[in-house]
Structure 1
Amino acid sequence: MKALVLGFGLQGKAVVHDLEHSPAITQIAAADIAADKARAYTAQKGYRKVRVVPLNAAQPELLEQLVREAAPHVVICMLPPDFQPAVARAAIGAGVPFVSSSYAGSLPELDGLAQAKGVTVLPEMGMDPGIDLILGRLAVDELDVVHGMRSYGAGLPEPACAADNPIHYKITWTFEGVLKAYMRPARFLKDGKEAAIPGGRIFRKENSHTLNVPGVGALDAYYNGDAMRYIDVFGLGSELREMGRFAMRWPGHNQFWDVMAELGFLDETRTRMGDTEIS
């Protein structure tokens, strides 16, 4: 099986690593705008299945050409979410299955085209979103009636690794993506009514809580994006009174980012200081 991986950042490297060691994969084309750096990395790692190709993903015609020429059995998109629709469209056009770890975003608009072509399109196939949603749906299907659902997801560095920085966290995806997630509004169901928290306020004490996880200990939990859209996805009925999605981090994380948000460090609004605009 041949795989085409688009994007050779932190997540792309991890995907290529797993594919390199998978007996199901015989060839890997890894595409990135920084092709020279990607080649140096794969050479250092001694990868034998990987062929690095240059790509400017901002040019749809180049995307389409690459997918045609690479002739993969699957297209794996590890580019930032803004590139996802164009990549999915190129994969569908070539009749190749598409998978990514990003939220679906506007991809449902391509559903008709994908079905007409008989192409599988699978966004939200990471850990969060992804594994958490699959496990959530499996749990729901075991129950007759669901009155409330809380979904928790976390990617935690080992304590010794987390202790060397003030946020007790390691960036395993784009730092810009982390910050955007922290400013994303939250939507959820509470006491049978839809509720929302504006971006930047999810870390406030009244909006966050602590969860004790057996074998791990106490973790900070905070609202993670839009839980309302998953009510229909999970097939939940009118009996539902509570629905929330949460992310978890080591203790102290919420307090740190609450201060940063209050000070405006997560606000992208441009402000002029002297002759310079900053955000």
Structure 2
Amino acid sequence: MGSCPADSRVYNNSQDTFIQEGFAMGNRIVQLGYGKQGRVVLEDLIKTASFDELVIADASPSFMNEIAKTGDPRVKGIRFDVEDFDGLVKMMKGASVVVELLPIRFTMQVAKAAVEAGVHLVSSVFIVDWSIQDPEGVRKQQEDMAAIDRMAKEKGLTVLKEFGMDPGLDVAIAGEAVKQLDEVQVLYNYGAGFPEPRLVNANPIGYKFTWSIVDTMCSYSIPGRILRNGKWHDVAADSMFTPENTHFLELSEIGGRVECFVNGDGYSLAEIFPSIAKTATSLGRFICRLPGHAALWERLVKAGFVSTKPVKVNGVDVVPAEFCAALLGSQSQFLYGEGERDVALIRSDVRGLKDGKPTRAVMQLVDHRDLDTGYTAMQRTVAYPMSIGTQMVMNGVVQKRGIIDASDVPFEHLRKELEKRGLKITCKI
């Protein structure tokens, strides 16, 4: 959302004029962010949701011209600076639900504004910024989360966090996979986006980007934790790509194998699913890439290329992760071209006992870019859950209040809505 000055006026696309302060009441949705995922959320809401007004807020100088192309008079735009807290609260008031698709550094601010305004919120990412690792910063975020949760419950509000692809569908699918067994001993959860295998040699890094490049870089510098054979192991930020923290999956759905790396805190799975906390001996959250990714990025990470600590370059502070993102993002070879497809993978591998017998259940969703619409698999698997979640909250399908996540959403309803959009979840036991 950037640093554009706050603008309290709403652009009316149908009349090509500005409407002064004040928004239409009734069944009103406010969507924060109109990037790659946001445009797909908007299209799906127009197609499938019942609303009187949908306000899109973004800082981009050109996005209002783009949303005008929808031709839908219910859709309006406003250029807005998300760091203007009071203005954010004012804009949210009277909405049925707020849909948030912003970088993670803004999510806590948005959540605070939503409960202050007295509106439901659906967010695509973590409310807690995982790039903040210092103890004081972690403690402050935990306190803020507790305050948001408390206020949301007092006001009868739902804050549905982490409801995109990963985080989001990974937790929803894991929750259903866990239910297939009587006793869970192993839960490995995978969330990944990567090029289809034929593109592995399309550029020097064997990878193309479908989401925030700088966030991808930063995610490569976050420590993780995994439970192996009953013992917890911390994975340092510069060790996620080392051989001892890498394993492989053979995926017939894509016609090849992928490398898998520890990504995030496996202990969170025990927190989300308390029923497995006492029985699980192995827990982990992983991302996947095409073969060769680990060998390259292990060196780059250890060399500091994805560090978030500034270095001096000719007297100017430069953040290595931001420099790498800018460099890669400036070259078309690292982005998807016409006819090129990405793959989105969500997989929950659960092992344990069913009726006293050793049992394994694998629930999985694999999607590819839709070449007819041009929407990437990443756009589809983030935006469609966001649209569905927004409608579930707005229509009362989700009744739980406070801060909730995908494990609190009716799975069967979600599954059916995903299938209507061409996203199919499979289950093998």
TM-score of the alignment, normalized to the shorter chain, above 0.5:
yes
Pairwise CA distance, 1:29: 0.9
Pairwise CA distance, 1:206: 2.1
1:126 counterpart residue number: 164
Counterpart pick for 2:263 among 224, 237, 241: 224
The aligned length equals 276
Pairwise CA distance, 1:67: 0.6
Contact 1:11 1:78 in 2 (8 A): yes
1:202 counterpart residue number: 240
1:98 counterpart residue number: 121
Q: Deviations over 1:258-279 (max 9, x none)?
A: 2211222112333335544434
Pairwise CA distance, 1:44: 4.8
AA partner of residue 248 (structure 2): T
What is the alpha-carbon distance in structure 1 between the residues aligned to residue 161 and residue 126 of structure 2? 6
AA partner of residue 67 (structure 2): T
Range 36-45 or range 78-87, more displaced: 36-45
Counterpart pick for 2:98 among 75, 79, 83: 75
Change (3 A) 1:259 1:124: same
- SS of 1:187 mapped into structure 2: strand
Q: TM-score by structure 2 length?
A: 0.60
Pairwise CA distance, 1:221: 0.9
2:297 counterpart residue number: 257
Change (3 A) 1:118 1:273: closer
Pairwise CA distance, 1:160: 5.5
Residue 112, structure 1, aligned to residue 120, structure 2 = no
What is the alpha-carbon distance in structure 1 between the residues aligned to residue 124 and residue 205 of structure 2? 24
Counterpart pick for 1:59 among 84, 87, 91: 84
Pairwise CA distance, 1:26: 4.8
Alignment of 1:1-279 (within 5 A): 1-34=27-60, 36-44=61-69, 49-68=74-93, 71-105=94-128, 106=141, 107-159=145-197, 164-216=202-254, 217-235=256-274, 236-279=276-319
2:9 counterpart residue number: none
Pairwise CA distance, 1:40: 2.3
Contact 2:90 2:117 in 1 (8 A): no
What is the alpha-carbon distance in structure 2 between the residues aligned to residue 199 and residue 276 of structure 1? 26
AA partner of residue 72 (structure 1): A
AA partner of residue 266 (structure 2): A
| Contiguous gaps of at least 5 residues in structure 1 | none
Contact 1:20 1:48 in 2 (8 A): no
| Contiguous gaps of at least 5 residues in structure 2 | 1-26, 129-140, 320-429
Contact 2:111 2:127 in 1 (8 A): no
AA partner of residue 249 (structure 2): L
What is the alpha-carbon distance in structure 2 between the residues aligned to residue 188 and residue 115 of structure 1? 32
Q: Deviations over 1:107-147 (max 9, x none)?
A: 34411111110001110101101111011011112211111
AA partner of residue 153 (structure 1): G
What is the alpha-carbon distance in structure 2 between the residues aligned to residue 41 and residue 185 of structure 1? 39
Range 47-56 or range 201-210, more displaced: 47-56
Q: Deviations over 1:199-242 (max 9, x none)?
A: 12211222112111122120121111111122021121322111
Change (3 A) 1:278 1:165: same
What is the alpha-carbon distance in structure 1 between the residues aligned to residue 264 and residue 153 of structure 2? 28
- SS of 2:239 mapped into structure 1: coil
Calculate the aligned-residue CA RMSD, in Å.
Answer: 2.2
Higher relative contact order (CA 8 A, sep 6+): 2
AA partner of residue 52 (structure 1): G
What is the alpha-carbon distance in structure 2 between the residues aligned to residue 203 and residue 180 of structure 1? 14
